Structure 1
Amino acid sequence: MALKRGSGILLHPTSLPGRFGIGDLGQSAYEFVDFLVKSGQTYWQVLPLGPIGYYHSPYTMNYSAFAGNPLLISLEQLVEQGLLQQTELTPVSEKATVYGEVDYDRVIPLKQKLLERACDRFWQDSTVQPHFAAFCQQQAWWLDEYTLFMALLEENPERSWNQWEPALARRQPEALKAKAETLKERIRFHQFVQYQFFEQWKALRTYANDRHIQIIGDVSIYVCYNSADVWANATNFALDPQTLEVAWQAGVPPDYFSETGQLWGNPVYNWEHLQKTQYAWWIKRFQATLQYVDIVRIDHFRAFEAYWRIPQTETTALAGEWVKVPGVEFFQTLGEKLGELPVLAEDLGTITPEVEALRDRFEFPGMRILLFAFGEAGTEAYLPHRYRQNSVVYPGTHDNDTVMGWWQQKATEAEKQHLAAYIGKSHDREITEIHWELIRLALASVADIAIIPLQDLWGLDNRARMNDPSQSKGNWRWRFTDSQFLTEDLSDRIRQLTQLYSR
């Protein structure tokens, strides 16, 4: 894929300011696009946008790989539609800080209640029904399964789908039809929520595209077991045919983040069955993602060449094994169905020559992480003079510590000396703004795209870290709480560097 040389900022919408304890698709999202434009940027990278479940991870705990996250819906925009009243909105009190956090325990019930109220009013206005009906018809290929799943999930709290009534767990047509009738009100609510998300996101994306900002989205390689995706397409996954539980779970062997590897818990794919269906489910998944974004980052790309699977009974990832995947055939089929693929490959972790060959065969840009060049996982491949043009460089990603957090608490004296020498300083004490040193390295590199986490533009420490893969709890919460932190000085500084390095 031919890339336009440019740069952008990594920021998930939940991290934006918002009056209700979480970032959303309202005013602050538009202000952030304006900031990107003023700063001379070309790209806005976000994380997966699906509805989140346990631990609030947008990667491993999604209820759907196709749906949008209800928590991102702007309540103020519902007021503008007349579906809520301003007096009904009670803001979550917060102080202005760049070290804010999403309080999901407060946000989820608050938004749920107001979305239900807005849905009730929506049905009182007959003028909007044709547009809504058209949306439901156009998206029926995933929406029908998702909305029924969510309604059944609400009816069966604390139980995963394989513990439902057997006729429902095994999707017997008559049982599904009867439940769809019984639960039609809740199904209609979830249809309304997805309609609102799609409309709000479409407007925001159009606003960005009209200002020459492209959205880089994310396809997480695996999906949550307790999701509409696995329930509705069980044969696509490695499940026990008797219990319908996970037979083989996903993860990675020991790596930079964990000495015992990472145990993700998601079911791995049944690639033999996917191959027989000509990868129909994956084609639909990419089609759905491209409704949201302009460029797709494939998370854990190496699993399309070979994946690490672990028996469900194991408590660490050490007992796993590598299993080959028909990756060439898969991407060829995807290209035949969808045309040129606007894909970035997250080729981090245990990368073999075979993985690199798969990436290069389809000319997918790979990723380069500056913290991997100078940190404890330091390797020559991540140093800027080793980069190739068809790649994307980051100081760090959402899985890394912030640059300042690494420098202050993790970097050894030898690592600091190495970095200082690399950038032409005689000693690390001469480095007064380590985050800007790495930003400059990224922007100056030959990599076609440079993406900077917003936390690193501000030089925030590890209190602003988005995710620590070595732990499951406490992640995905960071946010800043006031758009006033997006200052003219910050915009000017990043724009000047962007222009200096022809981005």
Structure 2
Amino acid sequence: MTQGSAGTDLFNIRKAGVLLHPTCLPGEWGVLGQSARRFLDFLASAGIRVWQTLPIGPTHSDLSPYQSLSAHAGNPDFIDLEELIASGLLSAEDLGLAGMEMGRRSCFERAAARFFERAEASPDNAVHQAYQDYVATNDYWLDDFTLFNAIREAYPGLNWLQWPTELRDRHRAALAEFARQAVSTVQRVRFEQFLFHTQWQALRHYAHERDICLFGDIPIFVAHDSADVWANREGFKLDAEGQSTVVAGVPPDYFSPDGQHWGNPLYDWEAMAGDGYQWWLQRLDSQRHLFDLIRIDHFRGLEAYWEIPAHDPQPRHGHWVAGPGRAFLEACFGTFPELPLVAENLGIISEEVEQLRRAFHLPGMTVLQFGFDGNPDNPHLTHNHEPHNLVYTGTHDNDTTLGWYTSLDDSTRNYVNHYLGTTGDNMPWPVIQAAFGSVSSIAIVPMQDLLGLGSEARFNTPGTTQNNWLWKLNWCEVPAGLAGSVRDLAGLYGRLI
């Protein structure tokens, strides 16, 4: 019998969670310090036991966490610079100058210079030893990422396909010479990742002390302009110059009637199978050290993925191609038997996809906003939910529940009201209550829904590139009694641990 993640208590004990990306947290100097701790304190007081984020890697200018510069690295914008004052790596004066003229990069440069000066003076100190251990443990991705980022800084505005040929194609001598000339930049980028690791692990410890687990997200595909593709071209369907020959997307579905052209390069799964999917196993391993649960976004791409010719911008001209399926998941669970995976099984999901998910006992997702198409057999309606799955009021790709409800036509809105036994006056709480009352083991509610916000607080609209990933939490908008109300609801439906 194929073993998946069903044996862990994470999916067998009823609990409630909140979806909020760290970029939504307020924080003048970063969010992984006091800002994130305050949010965890709120979750603990509300009886929430799961904090779900989106991917936490460094982003491109469009801010999408699903198009990261690295599948392993943390976003240095999350690092709380104020936390560096106590250790003497920065001063209050440094932050004052940063606010006026220096910027975050200059702060990191100053902090890195002081850190390495201390290391040179006292190479055996505990912090420097922790840094060396971190670098040695993560060298399988960190060396490529630091060099990739340093080259990006040397050629601003260019993707790696536009770099000088010898750097684009990773000529050993050219890379060594660049690294020699850019040693301070390479050191700073490496130091930033160590800081992210240190602050994230401290935050994870803080969460665990409050019985809160961290729930991460792995996009199945990676950005073309990333350290991953630049350093591992043999694992992707690229031409001799590194251009994609085919790209990822989806056919027309609920989110986009014309389909979506994501543009991500597609994996050469045959090549990846040659070494037992080592690139993916390393990716999963790095996320295991960041999160307690991990969602694979677009899980259906492991069974079959939508392949679009790179020269054709129309998603509808793509076609389905078989993915690695069972062989891939057997390699994953063979290496990590208790891998706590969740399958994002939304969109166009075939029976073959569900058979693959069930074969490995992977929890799937239901979204209440998707339930009201008039079909009583709709799997997103609460009477069709399954205990092992997760239920959401909405996801980061949906409108807020209040925004969704107010945009419904009269017939659908009446159906929602009738099903939930409400007049709709106190939306979105009837939907939140339905999620908490579901038999599904984990109920997740976006923070915007707990605040009762409308479409102005929508985080992302799939298929668009403007005005996404920008919403910020304002603690002044959090009602004083909200945590108590959420805790009462969690207790009513057996979601308090």
User: TM-score w.r.t. structure 2 length?
Assistant: 0.93
Match of 1:151 in 2: 150
The one of 3, 10, 13 equivalent to 2:22 is 13
Q: Following the alignment from structure 1 to structure 2, what is the Cα–Cα distance between the partners of residues 254 and 164?
A: 35
Q: Give the CA deviation at 1:424.
A: 2.3
SS at match of 2:348: coil
Q: Give the CA deviation at 1:155.
A: 1.3
The one of 294, 299, 302 equivalent to 2:300 is 302
SS at match of 2:366: strand
SS at match of 2:222: coil
Amino acid at match of 2:493: Y
Map 1:326-341 onto structure 2 (within 5 A).
326-341=324-339
Please list the CA deviations of residues 406-426 of structure 1 after superposition, one character each: whole Å capped at 9, or x if unmatched: 122x2110111101110224x
SS at match of 2:133: helix
Match of 1:101 in 2: none
Please list the CA deviations of residues 379-427 of structure 1 after superposition, one character each: whole Å capped at 9, or x if unmatched: 711100011111000000000000111122x2110111101110224xx
Residue segments in structure 1 that go unaligned for 5+ positions in a row: 94-105
Please list the CA deviations of residues 28-52 of structure 1 after superposition, one character each: whole Å capped at 9, or x if unmatched: 1001111111111110001101011
Q: Following the alignment from structure 1 to structure 2, what is the Cα–Cα distance between the partners of residues 274 and 79?
A: 44
SS at match of 1:297: strand
Q: Following the alignment from structure 2 to structure 1, what is the Cα–Cα distance between the partners of residues 79 and 324?
A: 38
1:55–1:474 contact (8 Å) kept in structure 2: no
The one of 481, 489, 495 equivalent to 2:487 is 495
Alpha carbons of structure 1 residues 160 and 480: separation in structure 2 relative to 1, 3 Å: same
1:35–1:486 contact (8 Å) kept in structure 2: no
The one of 114, 117, 141 equivalent to 2:110 is 117
Please list the CA deviations of residues 421-460 of structure 1 after superposition, one character each: whole Å capped at 9, or x if unmatched: 10224xxxx2211110000000001001000000000110
Please list the CA deviations of residues 53-100 of structure 1 after superposition, one character each: whole Å capped at 9, or x if unmatched: 1301000x211000000000001101122122113324999xxxxxxx
Q: Give the CA deviation at 1:487.
A: 4.5
Please list the CA deviations of residues 323-359 of structure 1 after superposition, one character each: whole Å capped at 9, or x if unmatched: 0012101000111111222011100011000000000
Q: Following the alignment from structure 1 to structure 2, what is the Cα–Cα distance between the partners of residues 159 and 333?
A: 36
Q: Following the alignment from structure 2 to structure 1, what is the Cα–Cα distance between the partners of residues 361 and 228?
A: 29
Map 1:271-350 onto structure 2 (within 5 A).
271-350=269-348
Amino acid at match of 2:392: Y
Match of 2:133 in 1: 134
Bigger mean CA deviation after superposition, 309-318 or 442-451: 309-318
Bigger mean CA deviation after superposition, 374-383 or 209-218: 374-383
SS at match of 2:316: coil
Bigger mean CA deviation after superposition, 120-129 or 394-403: 120-129
Bigger mean CA deviation after superposition, 157-166 or 359-368: 157-166
Amino acid at match of 1:281: W
Match of 2:122 in 1: none
SS at match of 1:419: helix
The one of 401, 421, 434 equivalent to 1:424 is 421
Q: Following the alignment from structure 2 to structure 1, what is the Cα–Cα distance between the partners of residues 375 and 175?
A: 50
Bigger mean CA deviation after superposition, 305-314 or 114-123: 114-123
The question of 1:250 aligning with 2:251 is answered no
Residue segments in structure 2 that go unaligned for 5+ positions in a row: 120-124
The one of 31, 43, 55 equivalent to 2:38 is 31
The question of 1:415 aligning with 2:412 is answered yes
Amino acid at match of 2:304: A
The runs of 4+ residues in structure 1 deviating greater than 3 Å are 90-93, 375-379, 484-488
User: TM-score w.r.t. structure 1 length?
Assistant: 0.92
Q: Following the alignment from structure 1 to structure 2, what is the Cα–Cα distance between the partners of residues 308 and 124?
A: 51
Amino acid at match of 2:488: Q
SS at match of 2:194: helix
Q: Give the CA deviation at 1:375.
A: 6.3
Please list the CA deviations of residues 461-486 of structure 1 after superposition, one character each: whole Å capped at 9, or x if unmatched: 1111111003112211111233x544
Q: Percent identity?
A: 41
Q: Give the CA deviation at 1:376.
A: 9.6
The question of 1:82 aligning with 2:88 is answered yes
1:373–1:379 contact (8 Å) kept in structure 2: no
2:17–2:445 contact (8 Å) kept in structure 1: yes
Q: Following the alignment from structure 1 to structure 2, what is the Cα–Cα distance between the partners of residues 92 and 431?
A: 48
